[in-house]
Every structure is written in C-alpha cells, then in structure tokens.
C-alpha cells in the first residue's frame, strides 16, 4: 500500500504485504505518519491489479 501526492510523487509506503484472508482492515492516520493536509492517492496492488483511491486530508 503506497501513498502518492496530487502530482503523482511517491510520499509513503505503508506496507509491502498485508494478509487479507481474514478480512483485514488497515487504518491510516495521516498525522501519525507525518503527512501535511492535502489531496493524496492511496494505491493498493492485489494479485497484480492496482486500485487507486483519492483521499482529501484536512
């Protein structure tokens, strides 16, 4: 799971591997990982397929 800023620059790598076999949920606190307020994209790769989600952090 990776986080990119609004111009596509890599900001943070949250985890290289997360097991989802038991319905795992990842909570992300943007302040705790040192990100400033703004628009970010979270990119998740599962079995080679990438999903991107926009997040606005105030």
Backbone angles phi, psi at 36, to 5 degrees: -85, 155
* Confidence at residue 4, expressed as pLDDT on a 0 to 100 scale: 84
CA 20 to chain centre: 15
* Confidence at residue 43, expressed as pLDDT on a 0 to 100 scale: 86
For the sheet containing 10-13, what is the strand order? 10-13, 2-5, 38-46, 49-57
Contacts of 54 (CB under 8 A, 6+ apart): 39, 40, 41
CA angle 12, 27, 19 (to 5 degrees): 85
> Rounded to two decimals, what is the model's pTM?
0.63
* Confidence at residue 24, expressed as pLDDT on a 0 to 100 scale: 58
State which residues form the domain around 30. 2-57
Q: Could you read off the pLDDT tens digit of each residue along the chain, which spans 58 residues? A: 788 888 888 888 776 555 554 555 667 777 887 888 899 988 887 788 888 889 898 8
Structural domains counted in the chain: 1
């Amino acid at each position: 799971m990776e986080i990119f800023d609004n111009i596509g620059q890599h900001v943070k790598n949250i985890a290289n591997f997360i097991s989802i076999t038991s319905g795992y949920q990842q909570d992300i606190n943007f302040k705790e990982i040192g990100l400033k307020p703004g628009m970010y994209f979270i990119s998740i790769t599962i079995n080679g397929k990438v999903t991107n989600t926009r997040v606005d952090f105030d």
